[in-house]
Amino acid sequence: MTTQKHRVVIVGGGFGGLSAAMELKGADVEITLVDRRNHHLFQPLLYQVATAALSTSEIAWPIRTILRDRREVRTILGTVMDIDTGARQVRLEDGTVVPYDSLILATGARHAYFGHDEWEADAPGLKTLEDATTIRRKLLEAFEAAERTLDPHQRAALMTFVVIGAGPTGVELAGAISELARAALRDEFRTIDPREARVHLIEGADRVLLNFDKDLSAYAEEALKRLGVIVELGENVSEVDKDGVTYGGKRLEAKTVIWAAGVQASPVAKWLGAEADRAGRIKVEPDLSVPGNPEIFVIGDAATIAAPDGKPVPGIGDAAKQGGRHAAKVIKARLAGDTAPMPFRYKHLGSLATIGKRAAVIDFGWLKLKGRLAWWVWGLAHIYFLIDAKNRFSVALSWLWIYLTGRRSARLITQGPAEKAAPLKEVTKAEG
């Protein structure tokens, strides 16, 4: 009988969980990676699925395929229900029990509605592939219903799109929706002119892209306006319902509202019975372990840790990756008998956001780029970071096609009922 190897369980196959698994390559451990999805998702391009530029399979890969050559890694499709920190076991919804010696929780965050969960039905957020296809369906169905209706008020509300929150996701979504209407859908309708669509980007702060340099925020705002986006700053939304939004005492009738304003950590705190901040994030030790449970690490969007200079670590993919690598290094050091403190030092490599198909802003700190050159750097960087060669070709082809023809190849309305529009009297006569 052989000695049981040190068992590392990783929950979550996103940027953080996968980078922890990568960093543990060659270590004398057995790894179990649990995710409730079978795929790793390249979230930075999710907004392009939501706006019909890319298809779902272009930005997602089966986690087991990524880890197929790592014989010591077992991948399990399952949903965590609870963690028994005493018995050191992760319990899944189907009753499966996964024991661990070290545990890395990399479960990310969902969008949050600041105490207004009832807004979710009318203002979906964008975190999963299903979120993306839901938003895509809502966007495309709004134009379809606008084409059918003869009621001008109804039509105006159907052709008004609201994005709440002007961080990178909100900015990228608003720009892409405006391009969808102005370029991809052009010439395809007979009653409406999709170019008349109004896209509102509503933000509580006084500028877009709050985490970027002020010059870049100003540039991004200009670029959005050039695309026809109506940027409304310093506005807090007080009401969202199926017919529109209310903010600053104003009412805007809009059938399509998308939420990009806030996130809430996955329920790690509940599983652990640990202390969390208002956004549900666990306050971890400097080495990313949970206070009182040094064998448990929380990384990425599920954790909060102050950087040495006092700035919080941002909720971006690269921070999760660095966290995952760090947790793995701490585990390896401990296995080697090294118990010296290993505080996590986040290194901010840069922030990127794109506005439509010819503009982007990049803030590397030491270098700030904007405009067309930034867009090329953004595009190449994103293609480079995709998981495999097939997807790099495929995304490059999709982008080239859109660039050359303006047509988007993933304009599918799938899954879910079509919205009802107001009845028409005589459709074929309506064109006049």
Instruction: Determine the interface stretch with its own copies among 15-23, 87-95, 209-217, 349-357 (rule: CB under 8 A).
Output: 87-95
Rg of the chain over all Cα atoms, to the nearest angstrom = 23
The CA-atom distances, in angstroms, between 405 and each of 186, 223, 281, 399, 409 are: 12, 21, 44, 10, 11
| Region of 4-12, 106-114, 235-243, 328-336 interacting with its own copies (CB under 8 A) | 4-12
Smallest separation, CB 348 to its own copies (Å):
32
Among 23, 147, 172, 235, the one annotated catalytic: 172
**Closest approach of its own copies to the CB of residue 301, in Å:** 21
Is residue 9 a contact residue for its own copies (CB under 8 A)?
Answer: yes
Stretch 348-387 residues interacting with its own copies (CB under 8 A): none
Kindly identify the residues of this chain, within the stretch 27-46, that bind its own copies according to CB under 8 A. 30, 32, 36-39
Tell me the per-residue interface mask from 383 to 412 with its own copies, x by CB under 8 A, - otherwise. -------xx-xx--xx--x---x-x-xxxx
Q: How many residues bind its own copies (CB under 8 A)?
A: 76
CB of 97 to its own copies, least distance (A): 6
Examine residue 97 and tell whether it contacts its own copies (CB under 8 A): yes
> Quick one: which of 346, 341, 342, 331 has its CA closest to 296?
331
Closer residue to its own copies, CB minimum distance, 13 or 168:
13
Closest CA to 46 of 386, 367, 284, 286: 386
Helix (H) or strand (E) holding 99, with range, is strand 97-99
Determine if 141 is a binding residue for its own copies (CB under 8 A). Answer: yes
For residue 392 the two structure tokens come to 């790099």
Contacts of 226 (CB under 8 A, 6+ apart): 359
What's the rounded Cα separation, in Å, for the pair 361 and 14?
Answer: 25
Question: What is the C-alpha to C-alpha distance for residues 285 and 149, in angstroms, rounded to an integer?
Answer: 57
Q: Which of 54, 25, 188 is nearest to 132 (CA)?
A: 54
Q: Which of 74, 110, 116, 207 binds its own copies (CB under 8 A)?
A: 74
Residue number, 360 or 386, with CB nearest to its own copies: 386
- Is 172 catalytic? The answer is yes
Q: What are φ and ψ of residue 430, in 5° steps?
A: -60, -25
Is 22 an interacting residue with respect to its own copies (CB under 8 A)? no
Closest distance of CB 35 from its own copies, Å: 11
Binds its own copies by CB under 8 A, chosen from 340, 341, 347, 426? 426
188 binds its own copies (CB under 8 A): yes
User: In angstroms, what CA-CA distances link 237 with 116, 131, 143, 260, 394?
Assistant: 11, 21, 24, 12, 39
SS3 21: helix
Q: Annotated active-site positions, please?
A: 172
